[in-house]
Amino acid sequence: MNPLGSSELIITPRGTIYHLDLAPEHIAPTVITVGDPDRVKEVSKYFDRITHKAQHREFVTHTGYIGNKHISCVSTGIGPDNIDIVYNELDALVNIDFATRTVKDQHTSLSLIRLGTCGCLQAEVPVESLIVSSHAIGMDNLMHYYKMDNNPDENYIINEFNRHTGLDNKNIRPYIAEGSINLRKHFGAGYVHGITVTCPGFYGPQGRVLRGPLAFPHLIDALTTFKSGDNRITNFEMETSAIYGLGKVLGHKSLSISTAVANRVTKTFCSDGNAAVDNMIRKSLEIIAGI
């Protein structure tokens, strides 16, 4: 294989990858991703020790240990386009030899777990619930730029979703990707499981009207009423489809966990979002440290 060129794989003079500003030795096999850069310290305050800190743009990283568990926390910022950067650069840190600029013969699979926030789409799932995404349905377009195969179950759900919502006839091409079953099985009691819809925006793409009129005024209703067997849509947010899609394409185990800060059916908003997110972090880190 020809070495990757300098505009393809961008390595700084310090030997770090361009956006994340990390060298291969700075990253752990288990990585927590969070949207908000300020949330990284809220995760790493539970580490027993921190061995490396980095920050470039919205990408803040703290790496350390909980007991013997080697763990990193990286902020992604908002949206699938940022996930494209974070996933490709984390993958490069473990699967590309920076000295030869070639893909390593031996593939390393990371465990990548998002601890985020979301809007809930079922009336009986209250704000502050912790939601584990079984699948993500992407209303964004990131994964249309990659060659990704779907299994028959994924194809079945996305076909039913398109039939139910009619959104695929409206300049949107929804896609689907499943999260890691191996990671998901650890998050039982205290977590609600369901399909997550990933939206390419917080306002119009999530049915919010401030001033701009909506092209799809019935979006929320179409999402809340969708069912495929036992699968229903529990929530929406802005990263999980890219996380699950790129996890599949690059061969990493990915899981997305969210605290519901808004319920878009009952029209309620969490009174103390920080406390609810802290609860998710503490509870989930306890599980992650034991995996």
Q: Contact between 261 and ligand URA (CB under 6 A)?
A: yes
Tell me how far apart the terminal alpha carbons of the chain are, to the nearest angstrom: 36
22, 238, 255, 288: which one contacts ligand URA (CB under 6 A)?
Answer: 238
Q: Pick from ligand URA, ligand R1P, none: which does 178 bind, CB < 5 to 8 A by kind?
A: none
Please, which residue, 163 or 218, has the CB nearer to ligand URA? 218
Residue 96 vs 176, nearer CB to ligand R1P: 176
- Selection from ligand R1P, ligand URA, none that 250 binds (CB < 5 to 8 A by kind) is none
* Residue 237: CB minimum distance to ligand R1P, A: 3
262 touches ligand URA by CB under 6 A: yes
* 202 in contact with ligand URA (CB under 6 A): yes
Segment contacting ligand URA by CB under 6 A, of 2-10, 103-111, 117-125, 162-170: 117-125
Judged by CB under 6 A, the residue of 44, 206, 234, 256 near ligand URA is 206
Which of 21, 128, 178, 237 is close enough to bind ligand URA by CB under 6 A? 237
| 130 forms part of the interface with ligand URA (CB under 6 A) | no
